[in-house]
Each structure stands twice: as structure tokens, then as C-alpha cells.
A and B are shown apart, each in its own frame.
Chain A
Amino acid sequence: MSIADIVREATELPVSRSADECLKCNVCNTVCPVLRVTDKFPGPKYSGPQGQRFRLAHLQPIGGPGSANPPSPDASVDYCSGCGWCTTACPAGVKIAEMNNQARARLREGTRPKLRDWGLGQTDLTGTLGVAFSPIANVAMRNRPLRRAMELAIGVHHKAPVPPFAKRTFHATWKRRQAKAGTGSGKAQPGPDKAIVYFHGCSANYYEPHVAEAAVWVLRRNGFETIVPDQVCCGLPLISNGLYEDARAHACKNAKSLARYAKAGYRIIGTSTSCTHTIKAEYEEMLDMRDEDTRAISAATWDIMEFLLDLHEQGRLDTGFGRLDEDLPYHAPCQLRSHGIGLPALDLFALIPGLRARDMDHDCCGIAGTYGLKREKYDIAMAVGRPLFDKITASGATVAACDSETCRWQIEAATGVRTRHPIEILAESYRAMDRARGTAEPPGA
């Protein structure tokens, strides 16, 4: 059981009803990164519990009962980035970020989604196409005039950080490797104390297979084989773009494929804090899915750093870390705070000799998933992250770390500093040890 599970009970209130808890104390407004930088967004208190009182009680199709009511009157709620800080900070337990998200969904209710918002939600589709045509796609995405045309056509800001597609998806590589090794068919699968189920999500699959490889390698070093079942995008990009129905379809597919492992006691480990948080909390909270399978996978899901720190606390982590003599600015992504698990990456970094990891102590880099990609929000997102970028630049470091992919891309684009997943840092440290011992082996072997 993770720490978040222990307190889950206390905050179990339906999102819309949690508006009742607001005491008007303003704490949420003081932490909202978006409110800090723009007048376009009226702030969490206004668009959350206050706005809620001006919305119909329940999702309702336009037109009934009675007069034709627009579904949600406040277009400004669209400027909430969904970073979740407000919900974390509210002393009364109001689920502000979630409420805003539902209001955004209502804003779109009955209207066809913008091509862009739909497109940003279809990470599997873009990923598959992008990987298939990666040489062309990657050149295209670096092409200024093309990016400007794309901004005009679909509203994705031309400067917004878009990473290059991988040459082959992690999933395909994995399948091929398994087939070669003859695993998966004949050999008995190791039990839940010897293996974990890996949820790679979209980023590690289509853009950063090296993160997935590092995870597999570090897990194996610690005595855990990796199982990679069929899976689709966790659905978060759909949820944040207000497309709940599509997100539910994704959640169902994942629940179907992963639940039997969860029920057999396997842990589901992810390298993306946003995917893991979606499975842990949003399937139930935002998508209202409370069936047995969904609950089982929610309860079994861990962030990889959370998992490794847990191993360490049990004395089971291989602490033979090699020396890494460097400064490492670290940014804890917003999603990580919503997990309520502390900052496990920092605790693990502390085990690495020579590494000077430092928490940048900034709330949000601005990107918030797909928020900062959008034409009308790009400048806001950059302003939100500005103090973080300045701190990282001022540190003079050549590498930074962050658990969430979109944040890494945003930080890299804004600072030019290579930004890596903490698992890559751990892997590098192990390899440093191997080099020192003379036992180095190529990763992924």
C-alpha cells in the first residue's frame, strides 16, 4: 500500500460536491501558478467552488429541462492549466483542479472538440504515425515555417516544445527482443516478488525509449524482471482536453489488460508521473470508474521512484551507486505532488556519491501536459516557468532532472539544459560503478 492509499479515505468526496467545503480562505489563490502571471484566469477559488454554484448541478444535455442553457458559463476556466496545486493546498479538501476540469468538459459538451484539442488527446495515433514517419516528421517539427503553418492551422504554438519521435517504439523493440530470446512463450513467468508490470505510457514508447530501457535495466539490477503487457495511452491528455468518453474507452482497455496482473499481486510501475497518477486517481475521480478491475489496477500502481525508494526502505535496493561528480538541478513536477509520496527521486539521489542534486523549489514549469503547447497559452506557460528556467540556467549545470516528460521537454526548450528522468541518472550511476569495478555491460543487453 502506498502512502497515498492510507489517506485516500479522508478525501473521498465527489468532485462537484466538494465545492461545499470551501471556506473562502483564499489559500488556493495564493498557490495558483497561472493566476500569478495572467489576468486571463480568475483563479481557483473563482472558477472552482464559486463558479460551481453557477453551474447546473449535474451534467445535462443542452436544452433540458426547460430553456436551452449553455452548459458552463465561464469560458475563463479554460485557462486553468490543471497543474493541481490548488487541490493539494486547499485546507478544506475542495477538489478545485478536478472541478475546473469537469467545467472545461462541460464547456465542450455538445460542441465538436477543436481539432487541436482532439489531436493533442490522440497521443497513440500521433505517436504511431510519428514513429512510422520519424525521419520526415522529426525534420518537419524542426522546420520554422512549417511550425508557423501548424500554429495557424491547428493552434499549436510554433515554439512549443515537441520532442523528436523515436525510430522504433519501445513496445515494438521489446516484443522483438522477447521473440528473439524465446521468452514470453515457453518459460514460466516469474512471480510478483520477482517481476513487475511496466506501464510505459506514450512518452517512453514513442519519444523516449531510452527512459524505458533505463527503467528495465535498473529494475533487473534490483532483482525484478519486467513484464510489458498490451496497453494504450492512460487517457490523461483526453481528460485534460475534456474528452471524457474517449478517455473512458482507454481506461477500460488498460483495466482489461492489466487487472489480471494486479489481482495476482504484481505491481504496475510507471516512469511517467502523470500516467501513474491518472491510473491511481483519475480513473475513479474524473472518469467515475469504480469497477473492480479499475480499482485493482489503481491500487497496484506505483511511480518508479516511489517503488525504488520503498525497496530501499526495506533494505532491498542495490546501493552500489557509482560516483557522479556533478550539479543536478531537480524539478519536481506538479503531478508528483498530487501523488502525495514526497520527492522520492531526491531521496534516491542522496545515495549517489558526489551528486549535488538540488530541488529548484518551483511550483510549475508551465507546460502542464499539453497546456503550454497551445497558441493562446504558450506565453502564460513560459511566464509560469520563468523563475525555474532562470534558476536552472544560473546553476551552470549541464544536466537537469525531472520525473515528467512534458516538463523535461519544456525545461530543455526553455533553458537548453539537457533534462533527464531520474531513472536515467540512477542507471548512469550504476554504470559508473560497473566501470569502476570493470564489469560494465551495455544497457538493454
Chain B
Amino acid sequence: MAVPHTVDVLVIGGGATGAGVLRDLARRGMTSLLVDREDFATGTSGRYHGLLHSGGRYVGKDKVAARECIEENRVLRRIAPASIEDTGGYFVATPDDPDDYVEAFADNCNQSGVDCDEVRVADLLAREPAINPGIRRAFRVPDGSIEPWGLIEAMVADARARGSDALTYHKVIGMEVAGGRIETVTVRDERTGSVSRVWPKFVVSAAGAWAGQIAALANVKVEMTPGKGTMLVYNYRVTDAVINRCHRSSDGDIMVPIHSVSILGTTDIKVPDPDDYDITRAEIRRLVDEGEKLFPSLREMRILRAYAGVRPLYQAPADTVAGAGNRSISRAHAILDHADQGVDNFVSIVGGKMTTHRLMAEQTVDAVAQKLGNTTACTTADEVLPGMEPGHHYWVGHRLADHEAEGGGDADLLCECELVTRRMAEAYLDTHWPCSIDDVRRGTRVGMGPCQGAFCTFRVAGLVAERLDAHTKATGRPAPGTEPGTPEEVGHAPGSGSLHAAIADRALTAFMRERAKGVRPIASGRQLQELMMTNLVFVDVLGVESLSTASALVFEDEEAVDAAR
């Protein structure tokens, strides 16, 4: 896809915020281009907890944020039904939670407009037997879970239908500022290495935790305080509703059921570099120690993997408090007009939450529209996103039900754990090739179940090689992404079977490396056994070490094995 030379607005960052901005701009008639250095939602928007906030977590300290959450919660349920599961949520008072917080909770909800009903503890325990039977009180709120990938794709589709576009794997690497404006923005295609320039009228940075880096390219200072949060993915539904502890939000105090898994989170640790978010064993221990207060048998439940994301926390220069813990920084967002630093056609949108991304986009586009003299009103809260059916929420059984409706069985499954059929993977590849298996994962959930890729990766890799062969056979030309000059092509004849096999091998090893990364920090018990079985499949059966791309493949983690002993 060629990079256009001129656009009304260039949006940097393909997370929820950027996609929301792109959609809003397009709906107001401003033709725009979005670029992301990787796939959509590979930043924080793909590495968050999955909670559609009711606002309940903020009622104690940030009533504005709480009110924004509940209002946007209602909007998103309406416009993005398919991305949301209406799980409902509860705040429960464990013996460890302070009385005064619990006493004030219902009132606080009331003041922020968050619907809240106290329910009988016995009723909740009957419905959710995994919860600590020692809880004293329980309040029901309209929490839900929200899935990012489909949501972002739908927003981009809405924008594309209106003449805008979005490019993944295009990284912003430079800006040329002249006469108080950004003149050009330099973008590099991360897959081919080719560099091009865009002349936008206006630039919006929706780069989240990376906003500081983007601003620096225009010599503008944006002080981000990236906060790393680690989460643990449990194998299946520990609960059917979101369960929060009724106290001032802290580590390991919330379980969110989303898709076929439940996610326990989070931690909050200040990190200097948003790309540096290794997970430590201390964090995992802390999560489980805290989580146990909510779910006493947590330690017996199987953890599939751990992952982390970085909060795009922004601290306005004035209220910088040295030494303050990260959780005290406002989660609410800020729109920074960089005219104050001498760049007139540049705003950054920082902070915020997944739940409030649409509102953030609306306010950002309001600011842009004013500058560009556009007076069209925002309509993003009015219409259901393309491809979604009004009122039809996601539910956990939908994939199994859909698969059954098509005849069921496992003959055609690439990924048995997440029920990904060959047809689903093909459909994704049809519209997204060239891409990685990790992209296919985001699009289809391939490899996200208990085996973490042990039985599906080689099938998807086979599919990749098969498709490349088919393309060359049908057209007589190298398939996209395998043209001369691409990294994979070196040492192989264009269009040859060996080239296609090499690409499939590379896709396979890259994906397994990525999966292993999330499993290793938690590998013990069954999940460690699973890892060993994966090892058996890939090393002993498939002989993966003999592949040209295997050098960096590490399945066996001695540290994890030791830790489990």
C-alpha cells in the first residue's frame, strides 16, 4: 500500500484512541491517514485488562473519571455491542477491606451516577462459588468486558468507508518543523524498510505511552510517566462476572472474565521506557497473594500466561509530585495543544482508558476541527459500528455455538483450544497478508488457549506456505511480501518452494518465541508440562532446531523448570 503524500490529518498510533480519532475525523469529513509502527492494538490497547469500566473503581477518588466511565460504558454498549460482553460486575468487601471505604461505596457510586445495588452475599456466593466465602458485603455495578481487536478494526473500517485510510507497520521516524508547523512527517515501512514522506495539514499524536517520543520529533516536550501493569491469564472462567475488591484500587484486586479466559490484574510500576516491560516473578507473586483474598483456591487454578502493558499516564508539569506512587496520578486524559510550545498544527492526546477512548477522540477532534475551521458535529456516539448487530453482545459460548451451527467437530480446526477453523484463518490472511502469525492471533485468537500454540502454530505455518505456493502458481509472480528485496527472499529463488517454506518457518519460530515469552514467567504445574509437551512436538517431532530460523528459538527455560521443582 502506497503512502499518500497529502492528507488533512495524520493520526499517529493505531490503538483505541487513534482509531477513534480516525473514525471521528472521517465522519466529520476530514480525510485522514493513521499509521502505526506495528499492527493495530499492539500497544497498550492490546495489552490491557479488558474491563469495560462502570466507573466503580474510581468513585472513591476521581468522580470525574467515574462519571466519564459510566457515560461511555453506556455509549459503547450501544455502538460496539459485538465487542462487549455484558458480564455485570461486583464490588465485594473481603475481610481485608477497610470499613469506611465499604460504607461509603454505594453513596460514592450514587454521586458519580454509577448504578449500584447491594446484593445479598449468599446470593452472590451461590452464583459465583469461587469467591471468598468470607466476604461481608457485595455491590452490583454495570461492569463488562471489552475486546479491543474487533473494536479497532470496526472503527478503522468505518473510517475507510469514508475515504480515510490506515497503515500498519509504518513507523513515524521523523518530523520536519518549519514556521511553527509540522511540514512533513517521515514514515518507514517496517517490513520493506522503504521510507516515505507525508505532508499533513494537521498531526494528532495518539501514541499513548510513546507520546513523549513522538512529541520529541517535533521538539515538543510531553512528560509521560509510563506505568507498567502485569496481568495473569487463567485458563477459563473463574467467574462469570467481573469481581472487584471494594477498596481503593490496588494490585491484584480484580478478575475480568473475557472470551474463554479470566484475567487477574494488575500491578502498577513506573518504567522509564514504554518498550521495556519485562515481567518479574515478584509481580506474579504479588498478584497471586492479593488475588487469593478474592479467590481462595486461586493457587490451584491454571495460569496460561502472564502479560504486561504500559499505562499512558501523563503528569501535567504543575502537579508533579516527587515520590508519589503511580496509582495516584489521574487516569483521566488530557489534550495537549502544542501551539503553546510553538507548533501550531499538532496535538497529543494522552492518558485515559480504553473505556473512554471515544470521548477522548471526540474532544481531540473538536480541537482539531476548530483549528481547521470544520463545524460538523461529532456523530460517533450515534451509530452502531459496521459489522455489528445492534443489541447483540458477545457471549462466551458464541464461538462454540457458531461452530456447532456449521456442523461442529474438530476436523477443520486449526486451533482446537479457541476453535479457530481453517476458514477463519484463511479469511484473515485474505485481507491482511503479508502479516505474522501473531497478527493472525489478534484477528482470530489462534494460539491463545491452554496449549499456547503447541498444536496450531505448525498448522497455520503450513497454511502460509500453501497459500504462497498457490499464489505463485496462479499468477506466475512472487506473492506479496516475498518480492525481491524483502528480508525473507535472501538466498532463495523468488517464488520457489524453498522460499515459501523459509517464510513459513520464520513465521512459526517467531510466533512460538512470542508465545513462550508469556508462558515462561508463570510456567509451573500443568502449564510447565504443557510447555514440555510443546517442546516435544516442536523439537523432537518437528525437528524445529534444524530450521534455518531456529537459532533464536528458546522453549526450554531452565530457570522456570528449576522454579517449578
Shortest B374–chain A CB gap in Å is 38
Collect the chain B residues with CB atoms within 8 Å of residue A19's CB: 235-236
* Closest A residue, CB atoms, query B236: A53
Q: Roughly how many angstroms separate A76 CA and B419 CA in the complex, as a whole number?
A: 15
A54 touches B235 (CB 8 A): no
Most buried by A among B408, B454, B530: B408
If A39-B411, A58-B240 are given as contacts, then 19 extra A-B residue pairs at C-beta distance below 8 Å, sorted by A number, are A20-B300, A20-B526, A39-B409, A42-B408, A45-B410, A50-B417, A51-B400, A53-B237, A54-B260, A56-B240, A57-B257, A58-B129, A60-B240, A73-B397, A73-B398, A73-B404, A74-B401, A74-B404, A76-B404
| Contact A23 to B235, CB < 8 A, known contacts A51-B400, A66-B86 | no
Residues of A within 8 A of B (CB): 17, 19-25, 39, 42-43, 45-46, 49-58, 60, 65-67, 69-70, 72-76, 92
Considering only residues 399-431 of chain B, those with a C-beta below 8 Å from chain A are 399-401, 404, 408-411, 416-417, 419
Collect the chain A residues with CB atoms within 8 Å of residue B397's CB: 54-56, 69-70, 72-74
B400 touches A67 (CB 8 A): no
Q: Roughly how many angstroms separate A407 CA and B495 CA in the complex, as a whole number?
A: 60
Cβ-closest 10 pairs across A and B: A66-B86, A73-B397, A73-B401, A57-B237, A65-B88, A54-B400, A53-B260, A20-B302, A73-B400, A53-B236
B529 touches A23 (CB 8 A): yes
Shortest A32–chain B CB gap in Å is 12
B214 in the interface (beta carbon within 8 A)? no
Collect the chain A residues with CB atoms within 8 Å of residue B301's CB: 17, 20
B404 touches A52 (CB 8 A): no
B408 touches A55 (CB 8 A): no
Most buried by B among A45, A69, A74, A75: A69
* Closest B residue, CB atoms, query A13: B300
Cβ-defined partner of B86 (8 Å) among A45, A67, A70, A74: A67
A24 touches B417 (CB 8 A): yes
Q: Roughly how many angstroms separate A60 CA and B123 CA in the complex, as a whole number?
A: 12
Collect the chain B residues with CB atoms within 8 Å of residue A92's CB: 526
Q: Roughly how many angstroms separate A18 CA and B180 CA in the complex, as a whole number?
A: 64
Interface flags, B436-450, vs A, CB<8A=1, else 0 = 000000000000011
Collect the chain A residues with CB atoms within 8 Å of residue B316's CB: none
| Contact A24 to B404, CB < 8 A, known contacts A53-B237, A66-B393, A67-B393 | no
Cβ-defined partner of A69 (8 Å) among B395, B399, B410, B449: B395
A65 touches B87 (CB 8 A): yes
Q: Roughly how many angstroms separate A19 CA and B240 CA in the complex, as a whole number?
A: 16
* Closest B residue, CB atoms, query A69: B395
Collect the chain A residues with CB atoms within 8 Å of residue B411's CB: 39
Q: Roughly how many angstroms separate A92 CA and B528 CA in the complex, as a whole number?
A: 13
* Closest A residue, CB atoms, query B81: A67
Most buried by B among A17, A19, A24, A60: A24
Q: Roughly how many angstroms separate A423 CA and B463 CA in the complex, as a whole number?
A: 58
Collect the chain B residues with CB atoms within 8 Å of residue A74's CB: 397, 400-401, 404, 408
Q: Roughly how many angstroms separate A20 CA and B298 CA in the complex, as a whole number?
A: 12
29 contacts between A and B (CB under 8 A): A17-B301, A19-B235, A20-B235, A20-B526, A21-B526, A24-B451, A24-B533, A25-B533, A42-B410, A45-B410, A46-B416, A50-B419, A50-B449, A52-B236, A54-B419, A55-B396, A56-B237, A57-B130, A57-B236, A58-B128, A65-B127, A66-B88, A66-B393, A67-B393, A67-B395, A73-B401, A73-B404, A76-B404, A92-B526
Residues of B within 8 A of A (CB): 85-88, 127-130, 140, 144, 235-241, 257, 260-261, 300-302, 393, 395-401, 404, 408-411, 416-417, 419, 449-451, 454-455, 526, 529-530, 533
B533 touches A56 (CB 8 A): no
Collect the chain B residues with CB atoms within 8 Å of residue A52's CB: 236
* Closest B residue, CB atoms, query A66: B86
Q: Roughly how many angstroms separate A23 CA and B526 CA in the complex, as a whole number?
A: 7
- A-B pairs under 8 A by CB, number: 119
Shortest A410–chain B CB gap in Å is 26
Cβ-defined partner of B410 (8 Å) among A17, A43, A58, A60: A43
Collect the chain A residues with CB atoms within 8 Å of residue B393's CB: 66-67
Collect the chain A residues with CB atoms within 8 Å of residue B400's CB: 51, 54-55, 73-74
Collect the chain B residues with CB atoms within 8 Å of residue A20's CB: 235-236, 300-302, 526
Collect the chain A residues with CB atoms within 8 Å of residue B302's CB: 20-21
A42 touches B409 (CB 8 A): yes
A76 touches B239 (CB 8 A): no
Q: Roughly how many angstroms separate A401 CA and B407 CA in the complex, as a whole number?
A: 39
Cβ-defined partner of A58 (8 Å) among B127, B450, B529: B127
Collect the chain B residues with CB atoms within 8 Å of residue A76's CB: 404, 408-409
Q: Roughly how many angstroms separate A110 CA and B397 CA in the complex, as a whole number?
A: 17
Shortest A240–chain B CB gap in Å is 21
Q: Roughly how many angstroms separate A119 CA and B80 CA in the complex, as a whole number?
A: 46
Collect the chain A residues with CB atoms within 8 Å of residue B455's CB: 24
Shortest B438–chain A CB gap in Å is 21
Collect the chain B residues with CB atoms within 8 Å of residue A25's CB: 533
Most buried by B among A20, A22, A58: A20
Q: Roughly how many angstroms separate A21 CA and B235 CA in the complex, as a whole number?
A: 10
Q: Roughly how many angstroms separate A246 CA and B241 CA in the complex, as a whole number?
A: 29
